[in-house]
Amino acid sequence: MNKVTIYDTTLRDGAQTEGISYSLGDKVRIAQQLDNLGIHYIEGGWPSNTKDRELFRELKKKPLKNSKLVAFGSTRRVNEKVDKDSNVKSLIEAGTDIVTIFGKTWDLHVKDVLKTTLEENLNMIYDTVFYLKSKSKQVFYDAEHFFDAYKANKDYALKTLEAAQKAGADVIILCDTNGGTLTSKLAEILEEVKEHISLPLGIHTHNDLGLAVANSIAAVERGCVQVQGTFNGYGERCGNADLVSVIGILKIKMGIDCLNDAKLKELTKTAHFISEISNMKQMTNQPFVGSSAFAHKGGVHIDAVLKNPSSYEHIKPELVGNHRRVLVSELAGKSPILIKAQEMELDLDKKSPQTKKILKLLQDLEHQGYQFEAADASFEILVKKALKKYKKFFDLEGFKVVIEKRKDNKVYSEATIKLKVNNVQEHTASEGDGPVNALDSALRKALKQFYPSLSKMHLNDFKVRVLDEKAGTAAKVRVLIQSQDEKDSWTTVGVSENIIEASWQALVDSIEYKLLKDQEKK
């Protein structure tokens, strides 16, 4: 097999993820990003839905350059003429060359959900496909719940596919809608279907068994020429097949043309972009594109991967736009320290006293609860301070945080800070949504006249972990703060029995790292 087409349904199936709610602008940006990547088909959603209808109108004004926009809908309603059905009319009015419709395949759904006869359902499939073809549309037919249907009533499930084929469908897509089919069973059913259906077949899987990607790949191995899925595996319940993994496997492992060679390097960027627009945290352990996908922590692993990356990496991370990370921890020994020093253009070797000093400091701090594998920025500051290659940007004289609950039952937070920059004293106060936010605002307010670039950074994640639950409210906490400017993001760490102090440590590191970056660019 030389080519498989990729069909993205992030804007419809992905939008059904718990916690995701796309605006019209979000949908346009995601469509444009997928178009830039070169995804073959982008499903815009239901044109019968107001927001999706606006999307089709918007993309008429700004047409996609590489991808084909697809309108999605269902077969006509029970006992209704196809040319009078409002859903079918909206598919025509969407103005796309390609339309995807889904129909009932499982007799359980026909009887219990549609409340109609098996024969009427076959007519609904045939009439809708035939009508859309008469309007010069390319028609993809999604056989909903196909694998469950086949297991329940093989003969009827095949009749539904034959109705779509007879009516002129261009591709029939077999859907594992409940995501409950084992890979071996799915492969077996596909082989049997090919004996009855001559049209090109596609696959649409859900991840309720954690097998959506595996099932998609197995389907391709058995002749399917279209894979449907979503970026980052978004979707209802446990999600859909993750197109990131599907593309990576098809392209790199199987040598199948499913994406332009030059665009493969943008896979990581696209996955992260869509997670940001979706307001969903990127999975660190996501295959191919996660920040941990090529991260190494164990000393044995690190030593081996530095000698020969293929010893612990199945591909070169650069192929998909990712990069190798060597994590700093007490388990890793001196190797990551040397690598980080090299990145900072510092001259260290394994036997130098400075390296031993940093390793000892690292081990002591980790024993206290610090964790630097997820806080590269704090580690860089730590190393430079240990080597006396770091100049402070300000001196703290003191801060105070006040939390007050007033008669209106609202809680107010105010932070006051005194500090010096080049012997110039600054004293400021600021309110915030919480004590850390107030502290952040007050610190920026004090520093902004000295370091204007701080206005271009913001905190985008804040995590607190209790390190010793048995100690109760007296337990140490570890705070991780992720910060971002217009180009980069970085993470810093703080540890203390006092959550405000731990937050302050991470907050100061985040700001000093930003200033350090700006200084090194000059």
The string of DSSP letters for 202-261 reads EEEEB-TTS-HHHHHHHHHHTT--EEEEBGGG--STT-B-BHHHHHHIIIIIS--BSS-G
Question: Residue 199: helix, strand or coil by DSSP?
Answer: coil
Has residue 417 got a pLDDT over 60?
yes
Cβ 503 vs Cβ 479: under 8 Å: yes
Tell me, yes or no, whether 174 and 229 share the same domain: yes
Question: Rounded to the nearest 10 degrees, how much is the dihedral formed by the CA atoms of 18, 21, 26, 32?
Answer: 40
Pick the closest to residue 43 from 85, 102, 88 (CA basis): 102
Cβ 419 vs Cβ 395: under 8 Å: yes
68-92 pLDDT, tens digit per residue, is 999 999 999 999 999 999 999 999 9
Tell me, yes or no, whether 45 and 114 share the same domain: yes
375-408 pLDDT, tens digit per residue, is 778 888 888 888 777 888 999 999 999 999 888 8
Q: Among residues 330, 346, 370, which one ends one of the domains?
A: 370
The model's pTM: 0.71
- E strands along 92-157, which residues? 98-104, 138-144
Q: Is 44 part of a structural domain of the chain? A: yes
Cβ 366 vs Cβ 329: under 8 Å: yes
Mean pLDDT, the chain, whole residue set: 90
Q: Is 394 part of a structural domain of the chain? A: no
Q: Distance between CA 504 and CA 502 in Å, rounded?
A: 5
CA distances, 324 to each of 296, 317, 318 (Å): 8, 6, 8
Where residue 273 falls among pLDDT bands split at 50, 70, 90? confident
Where residue 331 falls among pLDDT bands split at 50, 70, 90? very low
**pLDDT at residue 338, rounded to an integer:** 66
Q: Is 25 part of a structural domain of the chain? A: yes
**Which carries the bigger pLDDT value, residue 302 or residue 396?**
396
The string of DSSP letters for 274-309 reads HHHHTT-PPPTT-TTTSTTTTEE-SHHHHHHHHH-G
Where residue 32 falls among pLDDT bands split at 50, 70, 90? very high
Tell me, yes or no, whether 94 and 214 share the same domain: yes
Q: What percent of the chain has pLDDT over 90?
A: 67
Has residue 520 got a pLDDT over 50?
yes
Q: Is 432 part of a structural domain of the chain? A: no
Has residue 298 got a pLDDT over 90?
no
Q: Among residues 214, 236, 259, which one ends one of the domains?
A: 259
216-269 pLDDT, tens digit per residue, is 999 999 999 999 999 999 999 999 999 999 999 999 999 999 999 999 999 998
Q: Is 228 part of a structural domain of the chain? A: yes
Tally of domains within the chain: 2
Where residue 280 falls among pLDDT bands split at 50, 70, 90? confident
144-167 pLDDT, tens digit per residue, is 999 999 999 999 999 999 999 999
337-380 pLDDT, tens digit per residue, is 666 666 666 666 667 777 777 777 777 787 787 777 567 788 88
Q: Is 519 part of a structural domain of the chain? A: no
Residues in the chain: 522
Range of the domain at 98: 5-259
Tell me, yes or no, whether 244 and 307 share the same domain: no
CATH number at residue 114: 3.20.20.70
Q: Among residues 370, 392, 412, which one ends one of the domains?
A: 370
Cβ 288 vs Cβ 267: under 8 Å: yes
Q: What percent of the chain has pLDDT over 70?
A: 93
Tell me, yes or no, whether 171 and 219 share the same domain: yes
Q: Is 357 part of a structural domain of the chain? A: yes
Tell me, yes or no, whether 147 and 237 share the same domain: yes
Q: Is 265 part of a structural domain of the chain? A: no
Tell me, yes or no, whether 90 and 162 share the same domain: yes
H helices, E strands: number in the chain: 17, 16
Tell me, yes or no, whether 107 and 253 share the same domain: yes
Tell me, yes or no, whether 244 and 322 share the same domain: no
CATH number at residue 366: 4.10.430.20
Cβ 171 vs Cβ 137: under 8 Å: no
Q: What value does the mean pLDDT take over residues 298-312?
A: 82
441-500 pLDDT, tens digit per residue, is 999 999 999 999 998 888 888 888 787 655 555 678 888 888 888 778 888 999 999 999
Tell me, yes or no, whether 253 and 335 share the same domain: no
Tell me, yes or no, whether 166 and 228 share the same domain: yes
Tell me, yes or no, whether 244 and 301 share the same domain: no
> 298: how many CB neighbours lie within 10 A of its CB?
15
